[in-house]
A and B are shown apart, each in its own frame.
Chain A
Amino acid sequence: MRRHLTLTNRPIDEAALLSQRQMSETAGAVVSFVGVVRGQEEGRPISGLEYEAFARMAEHQFERLFDELEKRWPVESVRLIHRLGAVKVGEAALWVEVMAPHRAEAFAACQRLIDELKRFVPIWKKPISKG
């Protein structure tokens, strides 16, 4: 399984990520997900979120999640980008792409990866108030 993980302070460039997509003869399904910062946090308007990570542990926990995906489903490739630092409302904080032979495993693996990263990966967010 090809795996690509990036934690970055730079904006996520979806066009570049799409142009870098490596197809294969066996991958019939590509599922991608974008997590976007919303304009409200706990009922209060915000202008963005500030993300912090315990980077070394986050990388390790992501690798463990990738290991699990590889064991459970015939995933061919996973790419994941998570923003750190300030991310404005409407901007992507998370980008995930899973490639697999069929859609069932592509959707399932993508869902599992996101559900589990929210439980285990040491990343936190702090609201940036409006005004």
Chain B
Amino acid sequence: MSANKSDAATPAQHAVTGTPSGSLHRPSELAPTVDVSGLIDAASGLVDRAVFTDQAVYRQELRRIFAPSWLFLAHEDQFHKPGDFFTTYMGEDPVIVSMDKQRRVHAILNSCRHRGARVCRADFGNTKNFVCSYHGWGYDLEGSLVSVPFENEYPETFRKSDWGLVEVPRVESYSGLIFGTWNPDPEPLVEALGGMAWYMDAMLDRDPEGTVVVGGVNKWVLDGNWKLAAEQFATDWYHVNMSHASALMVMSPDGKPRDEIINRPGRQFHDPKGHGAGFPVSPKARFDDQAVHKWTDYDALRARLGDARVEGPLTTGHATVFPNFSYLPVNGSIRVWHPKGPDKMEVWTWTILDKSMPDHVRESQRLYNLRTFGPSGIFEQDDGENWSEAQAVAHGFVTNNVALNYQMGIGTEKEDGTYPGVTTSLYSDAAGRSFYRRWQELMGTPAWHEGSDS
């Protein structure tokens, strides 16, 4: 349903949201379009640092990357009964994801239609209505406006049905993961995932019963452009040996440097839609906690997912679903890099587990993830430090004019007959080049609300 129904008599509607706009007309100077074609040279593996620092580029990302793309919202396990809700962001837009009385999960813009405050300030919970604490406009679980204090003071033309919360027009799930998009006519989610879905299944489809969320959502703020994190999870095993050297020593079974950690065979996949995943290839590559190892039935996994997936993307890999959803299959860590201006991001992470796992295995996996990729995890801290370091100097005039190198593995992209789609070796920038090629493509494409030739 739409929260913004209008009949033929209704005058102007806003191009982005379909909401009444009267004679409002935003001048185009407020939304200038930057030609970014010269900021990415994917063929040569060069990226202009302005993509990480420029405010106009960032504003355009909100309009042309985040508004039209499928964005991760929540896991289905967060909604069990009517009124269950979770608040998150799509780009910088606050949204409420909730289960209505028909047990349908949908998403609505968390901003009152009256003066714009959020109508839900809680992180998650269960409620009957969403009521703005400013003047008391009250909305039901579907976002319809149902209560306006002093409604009789409004003109006769005022109709509550015109003033429901703006609904995210499309919400779809893939294997328990809920995505939404502001684009009213997008390609279906599964098509947008493209070749990435096969790799995602190595985490989401291990268990016939699916996955569940354990614990709460961890959130922290980092200095750094959101793309630094997103591209790394798509393309960057390279940093592991250097950045995580101390953590790898802690994880080493005998506490000694081991060649198989450093010289790790593996593949890296990239999809033309901008998604990417890298993974060691080895039957014994999993770093899992022992309790998880003992519980896991590898023969059953091989029968279910095939040898290639069990030995590859089910191992200690990394992955990004374009633009800003990433995951680590072995840890069950899924995360969103929420953009907060060109220089800042919020990291939101969930831990998901196979539903069949008994309690002691769940607890073991939860703690394993907390130790490695929780907010103070021994790996996570290394990553955040790198992103913030790169961002800290990126605004320097000379610094900002020096192109960055994404040339690793150029020319090695191929179909290897084992892993579907185009892959390279594990140590490669190919998925990074693909990520920025897709970014460049979308940044140069008018979004649905801009018309076809603006």
- Report whether chain A binds chain B: no
